[in-house]
Amino acid sequence: MFFQTWVSYILILFYFCVQNVNGTFKLQEVFRWSAVDYAYPDEYTRAQAIATQRFVPENNLPVGIEIWNDKLFVTVPRWRVGIPSTLNYISLHNLGTKSPRLIPYPDWQSNELANCESGLTTVYRIKADACDRLWVLDTGTFGIGNTTQNPCPYTLNVFDLSTNRRIRRYRFRPEDTNSNTFIANIAVDLGNSCDDAFAYMSDELGYGLIVYSWLENKSWRFNHGYFLPDPLAGDFNIGGLNFQWFEEGIFGLSLSPVLTSGERILYFSPLASNREFAVSTRVLQNSSKVENSYHEFIALPGRGPNGHVTAKVMSEEGIQLFNLIDRNAIGCWNSADPYHCTNIDIVDKDDTRLIFPSDIKIDNSGYVWVMSDKMSNFLLSSLDFDDINFRIFVAPLNVLIDNTKCNVRTHQ
């Protein structure tokens, strides 16, 4: 018995590196949907939208979340026809229903497809900051893969959450993108004041990292070999499907707390990769480093096989949480320890309810929010709309990392 356990431990370390968890399910499910629905002003308007295909329920896949006060934001990209609104929220005051309808944010008009002046066309990941601003990257695209059209340019939109007004719309420079560009992720870096703010955005298919300075209202682009996919890591097995995403480069981003030296570390990983990379924000914030900073980017040791990651976040204590999409799991790493697969753990896992955990966020009260959406089944096969397809979970960070290698107390 002892021998068997010991062997399986070694095997797990050898084959998976990230250990398996056998504990209880710590993430609590707060919302669940078979299909998402929207808060139309009345049922007649909703029926009209369905009849005219402005709303096609089974084409709506939620991909991103963010939490600010009593609002839980949910984004829905316009990959197919019938997505009535791309940036939405749910009120956390109203916990009476497990499947609330999405409310367009800030309103219906601001979510108009192909309205390049005042609308949002397709939004993936979003970020709220400590100055009550919501940073929203609009790709301006309609469609996915070879069906993609670009009715609008890439823009970074910033909303004032206290007034629900858009306070900035920045259009990317032509040099920030290329013909392959696909940017779906954003990290926001706040310095000593609300004006001292930067956004970092990953170009997954054009292989770049775009930096935006709020103060200067300017952007610049880094290129680096570490943004490319690993040719040996393009095979995926998720939700019963085998598929190849071998062109997918830099995707997940997370920022460390401010170090004593005054900078943060941006951690990033290509999607087709089992590796983590890092760079100082001191480098990223300096636009003249675009030309000569190759050696300032750092490659960290691998997570081991089945280590594909698309979403990550780091707490103020330096605990990184990330989705392990091959494993229907959420992983953790305490950045006080070296980045190494033996210091990586799984905080929670569920082979039914956590299929493709597409986004993960930590709110101001130390709660971790996770959404799962069966994204690969949606894209490569189809969803069963008699089943539950989308779920949002929550758990306190300290509960999640309890009894893992990432626990700060057991660490000291």
Judged by the rule CB under 6 A, the positions of this chain that interact with ligand NAG are: 146, 168, 170-171, 217, 286, 288-289
Please compute, for residue 164, the number of CA atoms within 13 A of its CA located in the half-sphere on the CB side: 11
Contact in structure between 90 and 67 (CB atoms under 8 Å): no
Can you tell me the distance from the alpha carbon of 176 to that of 113, in angstroms, rounded to the nearest whole number? Answer: 23
SS3 state at 2: helix
Give 192: exposed, middle or buried? Use CB within 10 Å, 0-12, 13-18, 19+: exposed
Quote the least distance from Cβ 68 to ligand NAG, whole Å.
22
Residues near 326 by beta carbon (within 8 Å), at least 6 away in sequence: 236, 237, 238, 306, 307, 308
**Minimum separation from the CB atom of position 171 to ligand NAG (A):** 4
* 380: Cβ contacts below 8 Å, ≥ 6 apart: 241, 243
Helix H or strand E encompassing 411 = helix 408-411
Closest separation in Å from C-beta 285 to ligand NAG: 8
Q: Which is nearer to ligand NAG, 170 or 182 (CB)?
A: 170
Q: Which is nearer to ligand NAG, 109 or 244 (CB)?
A: 244
Nearest residue to 123 via CA among 65, 168, 172: 65
Measured from the CB atom, is 41 or 174 closer to ligand NAG? 174
Least distance in angstroms from the C-beta of 254 to ligand NAG: 23
Q: Which is nearer to ligand NAG, 171 or 340 (CB)?
A: 171
Nearer to ligand NAG, 45 or 293 (CB): 293
Q: Note whether 57 and 36 are within 8 A (CB).
A: yes
Residue 219 CB, shortest distance to ligand NAG, in Å, is 9
CA-derived radius of gyration, the chain = 20
Q: Which lies closer to ligand NAG via its Cβ, residue 209 or residue 309?
A: 209
Which residue, 32 or 168, has its beta carbon nearer to ligand NAG? Answer: 168
Q: What are phi and psi of 114, to 5 degrees?
A: 65, 15
Token look-up 């431990």 returns: 9
Q: Which is nearer to ligand NAG, 282 or 353 (CB)?
A: 282
Q: Which is nearer to ligand NAG, 82 or 153 (CB)?
A: 153
Name which of 262 and 338 has its Cβ closer to ligand NAG: 262
- The residue to which tokens 């880094």 are assigned: 222
- The nearer residue to ligand NAG, 172 or 369, going by C-beta atoms, is 172
Q: Output the smallest distance, CB 77 to ligand NAG, in A.
A: 17
Cα 249–Cα 250–Cα 254 angle in degrees, nearest 5: 155
State how far Cα 13 lies from the chain centre: 27
Q: How many CB atoms lie within 10 A of CB 354?
A: 23
| DSSP symbols for 310-354 | S-EEE-TTSEEEEEEGGGTEEEEEETTS-S-GGGEEEEEE-TTTT
The least distance separating ligand NAG from the CB of residue 288, rounded to whole angstroms, comes to 4
d(CA 284, CA 187): 12
Strands of the sheet containing 312-314, edge to edge, are: 312-314, 319-324, 329-334, 344-349
Shortest Å, Cβ 167 to ligand NAG: 8
How much of the chain is helix, strand and coil, in % rounded to 5?
15, 35, 50
CB of 174 to ligand NAG, least distance (A): 12
* Nearest-approach distance from CB 289 to ligand NAG, in angstroms: 5
Q: Smallest gap, in angstroms, from Cβ of residue 117 to ligand NAG? A: 11
